[in-house]
Amino acid sequence: MRIGTVGTGFITNYILDNIEKTDGISCHAVYSRNEDSARRLAEKYHIEKTYTDYERMLSDDSLNFIYIASPNSLHYSQTKSALEHGKNVICEKPFTATAAEAVELIRLAKENHLFLFEAITTLHQPGFHWVRKNISLLGSIKMISLTFCQYSSRYDSLISGKLPNVFNPEFAGGALMDINLYNIHFLVGLFGKPDRIEYFAGTHENGIDTHGILILQFGDIICQCSGSKNTTCENNVQIMGEKGYIHVSPGSSNCQNSRLILRDSECSFCQKETPWYYEIQELTKIVQSNDYERCYQLLENTEIVVDILEKARKSAHLSF
């Protein structure tokens, strides 16, 4: 996997840190509209080439993968161009702003026999696999509580009157898209498509959701997903069954400590590495083993998640 990156924010740094640690994947080009940003990132990670013209990077035959970490609203068009140039794509979460866009990109990837991934940590965590393996021990599951509240440094900027991308409706921002999404991926990874979706959002005066609680129902299982970018708290996932519960901390994006508590026994599982390490390891493994089936399975989850996000926004009358 010979990668070219789009975007120079902190998430790109996390990904590049872990590309360096992983065999079979390497970065060879950095694209940014801003030449200085591109150069700074390329120097830090000893990357040969920089581009300020996206089309030119897509025409670079030495690259076979594009990693996209631009503002949310650009994911669709940049991923589409990359696929049309025959490049495989890893696109940051949230995958696209609308469900229709997701469907189109997935169709395009399949038609052209390309790999396409949403870069979401949740499903690649060993802790998440451990939860999925043990969940049947809980008996009939009744409720799940997922909390991911993280005060964003950019929230200070928002309330001081500026408009950072993550709080900009035009850039498909907000707490649901940016953070509660991890809670949704966790649930979709366990149960697939929900039967009911209701979002209760707290909004800034520009209409963006800064915090909110999403209710998802899967049959008789009732789940609450709390996500905010303007508060913090003790985050976790609690899966409650008739016979016991599973407690995951710090939560749905990083299943570091998972515990299974039954009436008369208890056991636990601990991850040692960062979430991005596992993500890069697993995506590389899928590509090296030519496992398109697993790739398209993961895209099914992505498609369900993007659909939930859209329906949730509608239920809360959010503007984009």
Q: Which residues are near a second copy by CB under 8 A?
A: 142-143, 145, 147, 149, 151, 155, 196, 198, 200-202, 210-213, 215, 217, 220-224, 226, 228, 230-234, 236, 238, 240-242, 244-245, 247
- Closer CB to a second copy, 96 or 226, in the complex: 226
- Closer CB to a second copy, 4 or 212, in the complex: 212
Q: How far is the CB of 248 from a second copy (least distance, A)?
A: 11
Q: How far is the CB of 269 from a second copy (least distance, A)?
A: 17
Q: How far is the CB of 137 from a second copy (least distance, A)?
A: 14
CA distance 302 to 306: 6
Closest CA relative to residue 104, chosen from 80, 84, 74, 85: 80
Q: What is Dmax (Cα atoms) for the chain?
A: 62
Q: How many helices (H) and strands (E) does the chain have?
A: 11, 14
SS3 (DSSP) at 244: strand
Q: How far is the CB of 316 from a second copy (least distance, A)?
A: 10
Q: How far is the CB of 14 from a second copy (least distance, A)?
A: 24
- Closer CB to a second copy, 89 or 184, in the complex: 184
Instruction: Give Cβ neighbours of residue 280 (< 8 Å, ≥ 6 apart).
Output: 15, 18, 19, 21, 22, 25
Q: How far is the CB of 283 from a second copy (least distance, A)?
A: 33
- Closer CB to a second copy, 31 or 155, in the complex: 155
Residue 126: Cβ within 10 Å count: 18
- Closer CB to a second copy, 44 or 151, in the complex: 151
Written as six digits, the tokens of 32 are 């940014």
Q: How far is the CB of 215 from a second copy (least distance, A)?
A: 5
Closest CA relative to residue 120, chosen from 316, 303, 318, 312: 303
Written as six digits, the tokens of 256 are 């570091």
- Closer CB to a second copy, 27 or 216, in the complex: 216
Written as six digits, the tokens of 239 are 């899966």
- Closer CB to a second copy, 40 or 243, in the complex: 243
Q: How far is the CB of 246 from a second copy (least distance, A)?
A: 9
- Closer CB to a second copy, 140 or 289, in the complex: 140
DSSP alpha helix (H) spans, 135-274: 153-159, 175, 181-191
CA distance 129 to 175: 26
- Closer CB to a second copy, 108 or 215, in the complex: 215
Closest CA relative to residue 28, chosen from 4, 60, 52: 4
Q: How far is the CB of 170 from a second copy (least distance, A)?
A: 23
CB 102 within 8 A of CB 302: yes
CB 24 within 8 A of CB 284: yes
Locus of tokens 């993007």: 306
CB 261 within 8 A of CB 131: no
